[in-house]
Each structure stands twice: as C-alpha cells, then as structure tokens.
A and B are shown apart, each in its own frame.
Chain A
Amino acid sequence: MTKILGVLMIVLALVLAIAPGFTDCESQGKTLTTAEGKTVSMKCHWTGRAEIAAAVPLGLAGIFALIGRRRESKRFAALVGAVSGLLAILFATTLIGTCMSASMYCNVAMKPIILAAGILAIVVSAALFFAARETVPPAA
C-alpha cells in the first residue's frame, strides 16, 4: 500500500514540475507588453517556476515512501508530502497567483492542474501517514 502511495507522490511531483511549463500563458505565446514596449513574463510563468520548489520535496518524499522501511521515516515523508502539496496550492493562489482574467489559459488549465495535484498530494500523504507500517526486512 505505501509503495503505491509513494509512486503516486512521485507522479504528482512530476505533474507539478512539468505541467505548468506547458500550460502557462507564456507557453501559449502570451506575454505582457509594458508602456515602454518591453516584453515581460506574466506572473503565472513565475508560479510555474515556483512549483518546481514544491515538486522536488514531494518527489523526494515519494522516494522515501517507496524505499523507507521504518514507520517513522514513512510518516515523515507523509508530512513533507502534505506540506509540499499545500505549498503548491499556495503558490498558485495567494503567494504568487495567476493572471487576472478568468478566461486566460493559466486559469483555465495551469491553475486547476496545480490545485488538483496539490489536493491529491495532501490526500495521498494523509493516506500514507495512516497506512505507514514497519516493513520487516527479509531474513538473510
């Protein structure tokens, strides 16, 4: 059970790290033009970058859940996974956010993907926390 949850955490971490790069406004060729005529990235692009910071610990937690034997280490991985999921949600909602218009691609695709991955990361981490058992190594 904990191994399946560990694999799920790794998959969610990959989604968080990769999906924003293909679903932010910049990936659709949309950037912000300033009054001086300069082209700058919109804030959804920076949210996408920040998600990597949430994806890395989530992926590591998944690996720990996969290879860890002690109950404490699996529970610690679950806590790290839950915090990473929460951080992923906060980056996209309050800490950085996405573009203002609800019809822009980042709000239509990127934000829902991040929120879904974040919520599932928290749920999977909670399941890992309660399912964590001591794995007895096979006798030599």
Chain B
Amino acid sequence: MSLLQLAWKNISGNGLRSWVVALCALLVAAFALFSTLLLRGAATSLELAAARLGADIVVVPEGAQTEIEGALLMGAPAHFWMPQQNVEILATFPGVEAVSPQIYLSTLVGASCCSVSEMFMIAYDPDTDFTVRPWLQKQLPGGLGLGEVIGGDYIFATEGEDGILVYGTLLKLKGNLEPTGTGLDQSVFFTLDTAHEVARISETQAEEPLVIPPEQVSAVLLQTKPGSDNEEIAVEIYRSVPGIYPIQSDSLFSSSRTQLKSLLNTVVIIAALIWPLAIVLIGMVYLMAANERRRELGVLRALGATRRFVSQSLLAEASLLALCGASVGAFLAVLAIYLFRKLIMTSLGVPFLLPAPGSLALQIGIGLLLAMASVFLAALLPAIRISRQDPAIAMRE
C-alpha cells in the first residue's frame, strides 16, 4: 500500500476528524483569499479611477465634496450646480494650463422614457475636454457627435436597439470603456450639445423633463502646468473664489482610502485571531487522533514501517485534507467575490475591480499554500511524537 493510499484510507475511516480539519483549511483559505482579493481589488480600482479622471484638480460647489466621490466611485446620481462664469475665472489662475466644465445628470427611476433607472450621466465640453477624449482616441478618433454616447463597462444597448433611451431620446451607444470597478462603469458620457438636445426633447417625450439650469455647470476640471504646486493652486482658488471647493486628485477619494485602511486593519485583526486558532484546533485534532491510533501505528511499525513512513503517512493525510478543504474554500471565495462584488461595494462604500486572470491564479495559489502550510504545521508535532513511540509499548496499551 502506498503512502497516499494509506492516507486516503485514514481519511475515509474517520469522517468527523477529516471534516473538522478540512473545514479549518477551508476557512483559512477562504478568508485569506477573500480579504486579499477585496483589498487589492479596491486599491487597484481607486488608482485606476484617479488615473481615468485625468485632472489635477476638480472644482465643485462647496459642500458637494462627498457627493462627487459617491458619483465617481459608486455611480450614485449627483446633482449640484455652480455658475458657468467660474470656468473663465479658474482659467486665469497662474499655473492652470487647461480648464473644462462638466455637467452631471441622471435618468429617472422606473420611468418608461429611460431604459436604465438612476444612471449617472456626464456631459463634457468637447472643445475644452482633456479627460474623456483621451479614452475615446482608440475607439472614436473623431469624438462623439450629437445624439451619441459612450458607456462604462456595464452599459448595454436596449434590446432590439443600438442605443439607450434617455428622457425619451434614443442615444446611439458608440462603445464601452474599459472597466475600472467604480461608478464610472455604470455611467454614460456625451457632449454638452447632446445634453441640451435631450433636455429639449424631454419636455414633450419624457415623464419628467430633464432640467439643466441655464449658465450653470456641475464641476470644472483643471489641468495644471508641469512642475506646478497643485496644493498651492487649490488653496489660492479656495481663497479667491467663494462658493467653490477645489479637490486635488490625490485627495479626491480620501474617504474611500480611509475606509480601505480601516477595512485592512479589521482584516488583519480577524486573521490574527482565525489563523492561530485554526492551527491550534487542527493540532489538537491530530494529537487526539495520534493518541487514538497508537496501537494501529504500533502494528504498522512492528510490520516493518519506518518512523519516517509513519510520520509521513500522518502528514500526507493532513496535506490531502488541507488541499481538499482549501480548494473548496478558494472556489467559494472567488465565487462570492465575483458574484457579490457590487453588493460588497455598496455595503462597504469602496470600489472594486476583479484582478487579471494571472494575478487571480497567483492569489489562489498563495491562499492554498497558506492553508496547506497551516495544516502541515499543526500536524507536524503530533506526527513526530507518534513516530517516536516504541511499537512494543504502543501495542501493549
């Protein structure tokens, strides 16, 4: 009988012990993988969102700081306005290279004139824009025309159409952007002309008209000159222009970063509790198992099995159980994070982006190794102890 066959027979011979060990391995692997995927996915997503925004400073009306974070990160509809004249004022500040206004809108809830409810919509000025256009270069070198939109990764055309219905206007979906894991994936982008056209048509075609206050914009995006001190410019803008709040891109998602940091601390604390507990529990299970099987292992030694073979059979049994439990744990963790990522994003208030297949495989591998190492470590001491016993004494007991 080979080592693996013996280990497998031992596993099937004691169901309860095997279930306990496999369950511990499952918990360790599932928790390690789930928390790693979640934290890394959130961090990647935040970096990508900041990079996609492409602006050095975002200027919003005072008090709208939280709302813009919610809109950009979670796709929560945002409605805030400030005078359009701020665009010209902001362009005059020293160190500012480019300025571009944006208007933030959203579709109605449960209305037949909108094919998607509560969709966040961003209208940009194609003449001054420096944030949306760079992403469109590959797909649409000519930019977006009147009545055309580009959607985030989750935006689909209405069934049987090649566009989406917004306030009674069918807007042509020209393509989708790469996923970011943020609210931008659930948003659409179009030009200011398209926004005003939709508002005009909505007066007769929609359940409620789309209202864009005249001479108002939602936010102004600033690009600073290379080498400029963004903090200094932001402070100067805040001092000089009343009613607005400049946010530097580094601190744009500060509340999410703080949330992520506290989440990391919680995970570390839970891991610090779970991991040693699982090792101690598995160790105790194997210690009891080794004591129960003293005679059996004594017979094995009397039949000519070496000490090494006896300890290896116990460790092989532990490793097999750890592999089975950890594989199921890894499967459940990946399934949960893949399916419930939006629920997790909404509940925790952090964005999330699934890792690339290569990175996912690496993280699964690390999770499996961690669980197997935990079980191996826990079973090592009982295995060494039982292999050192005298077979004659063990058989007599």
> Which of B117, B154, B336, B342 is within 8 Å of A116, CB to CB?
B336
Chain A residue with Cβ nearest B183: A103
Is B112 among interface residues, defined by CB-CB distance under 8 A?
Answer: yes
B340 surroundings in chain A (CB, below 8 A): 112, 116
Tell me if A112 and B342 are in contact (CB < 8 A): yes
Tell me if A30 and B110 are in contact (CB < 8 A): yes
Tally of A-B residue pairs with Cβ under 8 A? 54
Chain A residue with Cβ nearest B187: A103
Tell me if B207 and A35 are in contact (CB < 8 A): yes
Tell me if B110 and A103 are in contact (CB < 8 A): no
Tell me if B110 and A115 are in contact (CB < 8 A): no
When chains A and B are docked, how far (Å) is the Cα of A116 from the Cα of B336?
A: 8
When chains A and B are docked, how far (Å) is the Cα of A3 from the Cα of B113?
A: 52
Tell me if B335 and A119 are in contact (CB < 8 A): yes
> Taking A33-B207, A35-B207, A108-B346 as contacts, is the C-beta distance between A101 and B112 under 8 angstroms?
no
> Taking A103-B186, A116-B336, A119-B335 as contacts, is the C-beta distance between A108 and B112 under 8 angstroms?
no
Chain A residue with Cβ nearest B165: A100
A107 surroundings in chain B (CB, below 8 A): 342
Tell me if B343 and A112 are in contact (CB < 8 A): yes
> Taking A30-B110, A32-B112, A35-B112 as contacts, is the C-beta distance between A100 and B156 under 8 angstroms?
yes
Chain B interface bracket (under 10, 10 to 19, 20 to 34, 35 or more): 20 to 34
Q: What distance in Å separates the Cβ of B163 from its nearest Cβ neighbour in chain A?
A: 12
A100 surroundings in chain B (CB, below 8 A): 115-116, 156, 158
A115 surroundings in chain B (CB, below 8 A): 339
> Which of B75, B117, B336 is within 8 Å of A99, CB to CB?
B117
Is B185 among interface residues, defined by CB-CB distance under 8 A?
Answer: yes
Tell me if A116 and B186 are in contact (CB < 8 A): no
Chain B residue with Cβ nearest A39: B110
Tell me if B112 and A34 are in contact (CB < 8 A): yes
Tell me if A33 and B111 are in contact (CB < 8 A): yes
When chains A and B are docked, how far (Å) is the Cα of A45 from the Cα of B207?
A: 23
Is B119 among interface residues, defined by CB-CB distance under 8 A?
Answer: yes
Query: Can you list 30 pairs linking A and B with CB atoms under 8 Å apart?
Result: A30-B109, A30-B117, A31-B110, A32-B110, A32-B111, A32-B112, A33-B110, A33-B111, A33-B112, A33-B207, A34-B112, A35-B112, A35-B113, A99-B117, A101-B116, A101-B118, A101-B119, A103-B75, A103-B119, A103-B183, A103-B186, A103-B342, A104-B117, A107-B342, A108-B342, A108-B343, A109-B343, A112-B339, A112-B340, A116-B336
11 extra interchain contacts, Cβ-Cβ under 8 A, other than A42-B110, A103-B183? Answer: A30-B109, A30-B117, A35-B112, A99-B117, A100-B116, A102-B154, A102-B186, A103-B75, A103-B186, A107-B342, A112-B339
Listed in ascending order, the chain A residues whose CB lies under 8 Å from chain B are 25, 30-35, 42, 99-104, 107-109, 112, 115-116, 119
